[in-house]
Amino acid sequence: MTDLLPAALWRLAAAALADVLLGLLAWSIASMWLVIAVLTFSRHPLELVDDLVLALGVLLLGVALHVAYHTVLVGGCGQTLGKMLMGVAVVRSDGASAGYGRALLRCLGGGLCVLTLGLGRVLMLFTRERRALSDFVAGTRLVAVPGAAPRPRLPDASTTAHPSPAHPSPP
């Protein structure tokens, strides 16, 4: 299964954008409910320390949602929703399914990319297999899903023959 082709950069970017938008939507809704719950059950107005703890809770909620989303989906089916939309899959270096352990490791490796201010993602531009730092850490790569985006086929000569006037084509 090593004959899988690397995914195109534009597909990777579009899949990442779709995942970010979906993640922000889920995080916004979950954070809103967390804040509502805290304010509802609070017996007194929040102090500065309470506000900081709430902000930390919202941040940790976002990290937990991100890790769960990527680990469960990539570990279970090899694709996040954005990757499904764009026909991209995460596989091991040998082409086998990534599994939950590598999916978690890849997600944590993505944290390294954040810590390097995105420099870990720049590696994708210079590797033939489009591997980022997180892929090197987890031993994974991003591939195009066969048949996800069919390319237009050129008609062969037998189907493009013009009908002769003696045998008109039926209406």
Angle at 99 between CA 131 and CA 134, to 5 degrees: 25
Contacts of 169 (CB under 8 A, 6+ apart): 163
Q: Please, where are the H alpha helices in 78-164?
A: 81-86, 99-115, 119-122, 133-138
Write the CA distances from 32 to 18, 23, 35, 36, 59, integer angstroms. Answer: 21, 14, 5, 6, 12
Strand ranges in 19-160 using DSSP code E only, listed in sequence order: 88-92, 140-144
Angle at 67 between CA 111 and CA 90, to 5 degrees: 80
pLDDT per position as a tens digit, 39-76: 888 888 888 888 899 999 999 999 999 999 999 999 99
Q: What gap in Å lies between CA 89 and CA 47, rounded to an integer?
A: 46
pTM, full prediction: 0.78
pLDDT per position as a tens digit, 65-106: 999 999 999 999 999 999 999 999 999 999 899 999 999 999
pLDDT per position as a tens digit, 109-159: 999 999 999 899 998 999 888 899 999 999 999 999 977 654 445 565 555
